[in-house]
Amino acid sequence: MTQLNENSETGCCPRFNPEPWNGKILEWKDKKFIKDKVFTFFYMPFNFGGVMKRLDEKVRKAGAKMPDFLCLSDHTSKWNMGVYLAVDREIPDAKNVTLSGKFLSKVYEGHYKDTGKWSKDFEAYAKSKNLSIKKWYMWYTTCPKCAKVYGKNYVVILGEVN
């Protein structure tokens, strides 16, 4: 099995520091990502781990890095979601994409069932900043096993704003 981060305490997901991501506006210009798809059933991912392993292998083979282990999820329907894994260079045999714009980020902690509540809060937060959300992304910062080890399940909502 491929390990996403041998240097982390778990050998999988690194421990997440919410401070640099909570209540921030990020300006990205051609930020590099590789993109893939995850099958979902009523928004519940089924092959997320397999997709992440496949992306991790491509990144390792290219000798690239994954800045902040940032992986954005774009829930496009009940049946699939796009995943965008941040990379530091173009990756052969991968769908390379870039994201540019202004992004508002806010960190939440708790069980995934609270996603609806977090989304409403994020909308109100953006509105309080006089920002309009054009596109949403979720960053599930750790897998369920690592969240259990760390005792925290952080999720970051990033919204492309204008």
62-78 pLDDT, tens per residue?
999 999 999 999 999 99
State the pLDDT confidence band at 112, using cuts at 50, 70 and 90.
confident
Mean per-residue pLDDT, 91-105: 98
Our count of domains for the chain comes to 1
Q: Which whole-number Å values give the CA distances from 156 to 28, 96, 123, in the listed order?
A: 16, 23, 13
In whole numbers, what is the pLDDT of the chain averaged over residues?
93
Q: What percent of the chain has pLDDT over 90?
A: 85
Confidence label for 2 from pLDDT (cuts 50, 70 and 90): very low
Percent of the chain whose predicted confidence (pLDDT) is above 70: 95
Digit-coded pLDDT (tens) for 12-31 = 889 999 999 999 999 999 99
155 found inside a domain: yes
Residue 1 counted as domain residue: no
Q: Is the pLDDT of residue 108 over 60?
A: yes
User: What is the CATH number for 104?
Assistant: 3.20.80.10
Domain that holds residue 113: 19-161
Is residue 2 one of the residues assigned to a domain?
no
Q: Does 6 reside within a domain?
A: no
Residue 98 to residues 21, 83, 88, 90, 112, Cα–Cα distance (Å): 20, 13, 11, 10, 27
* 137, 158 Cβ separation under 8 angstroms: yes
Give the pLDDT band of residue 1 (cuts 50, 70, 90): very low
